[in-house]
Copies of this chain bind each other. A is one copy, B any other.
Amino acid sequence: LKNNSIASSVDGDRLWQRHLEMATFGPSENGGSTRLALTKEDIDGRLRLAEWAAKRGFKVFLDGIGNMFVRREGTNPTLPPVMTGSHLDTQPQGGRFDGVFGVLAGFEVLEALEDTRTATQHPIEVAVWTNEEGARFWPGCMGSKVFADPNKLQPMHASKDINGISVHSSLAQLFLAFPTTPRRAVGFPVASYVEAHIEQGPILEAEKKIIGIVTGIQGTRRFRVEVEGFQGHAGTVPAELRKDAVRASVNMIAKLQDFAYAADSRVRFTVGRILVEPNAPAVIPGRVTFTIDFRHPELSVLNEVGDQIETICAQNAAGCKFKVNEIARTNPTDFKGLIPDLIEDVSQKLQLSRMRVYSGAGHDAENLAMLCPAGMIFVPCENGISHNEKENVEPDHLKAGARVLADVILALAKLVEPLYAKRD
């Protein structure tokens, strides 16, 4: 294992401490994190990562959608980088590991390579993708989406948060905080991409496996539905004259949920955000906006169920106007061949229990899979709980995931020689 493994140099304590330190940016009340994309907390977290990078002599770059890249140079700097990474933004009242693990495991790989003075032919880069969660700006996986398709840069810049602040103006805050960091154009050749992540589901834990070799990611369709009624006095307007945007919306949502879940037990259908205007107890609501997050592993179900949303809304509009906007769509992703096989092979050599798993959650890897061989490594999370302050992971599992990542990356970057041999 000697010349093609640095797994034994992965420092589990250092990796754990970095997780605790990253969680100091946007700590939430009950031990989780609220570090929404491009907020001060997110920017401060990235600055800390950049400090760590500077200490080890790694270069840092930013692109036009705010993706950040930490680069350890290869012996052949003209080769496209082998890439790993994930995201540092969280959900509101989210967890300390979702996304953070993929970034810090990638950084730990760079440090293990540095500690062991191991040279690689390819440069290796750790990506911090912007706004993966989609909690502040829609859609999620924004940074990797733009990276895979630079034509999306301008439309994504126009996306606004709940307070009307655009991605564009929030990015200005990020760039201000990194005044001397070199900028890159959006999108460039990548040799291969491997992302480590917590499972966010209960299967690995139930099956007592430490490593999940991800076989694919279910597809997603995201909608924003706008319902327009007529604002009025709660005490005076009789039922038959009302255009109550809440009454129409709750009927729409109730019927949509029933319809979607009837299709298939693999359906995931979530109305996660509802905004009521003017949202006053004694006023018949004039306007409601709600979001739909619909996911399924099969393209046909995504199409058939998703295409009925408009019809079901129409059947329950009760005199209100409405508009169904499809905000984002990602077809199901398959991870096959090189990367999953390499994860399997390395896990076996490191004698770590493992199984193939399918991802219910979306990840930046789904966008990178359009550009290069890609794959993901999952580690278990407690009770499958994620997007919740209670999200928790065993430190040993983080270490095991980082060890597998290290040797997979090393294999991909093609070990050539001990880097500082002459200095010894």
Contact = CB atoms under 8 A, between A and B. Distances in A.
Given A234-B293, A236-B201, A268-B236, A280 B384 contact: no
Contact of A282 (B239, B261, B272): B272
A276 B279 CA distance: 12
A261 B274 contact: no
A391 to B, nearest CB: 9
With most chain B CB atoms within 10 A of its CB, the pick from A93, A234, A384 is A234
A284 B272 contact: yes
Interface string A259-299: 00100011111111111111111111110000101010000
A284 B239 contact: no
A260 B275 CA distance: 24
A253 B91 CA distance: 27
Nearest to A199: B236
Contact of A384 (B91, B218, B236, B271): B236
Contacts of A269: 239
What is the count of identical protomers in the complex? 2
Contacts of A265: 238-240
With most chain B CB atoms within 10 A of its CB, the pick from A237, A251, A271, A280 is A280
Chain A interface mostly: loop
Contacts of A273: 276, 279-281
A386 interface: yes
A272 B261 contact: no
Contacts of A261: 239
With most chain B CB atoms within 10 A of its CB, the pick from A246, A266, A267 is A246
Interface in A222-249: 222, 230-240, 244, 246-247, 249
5 contacts: A134-B281, A234-B272, A246-B253, A272-B279, A274-B279
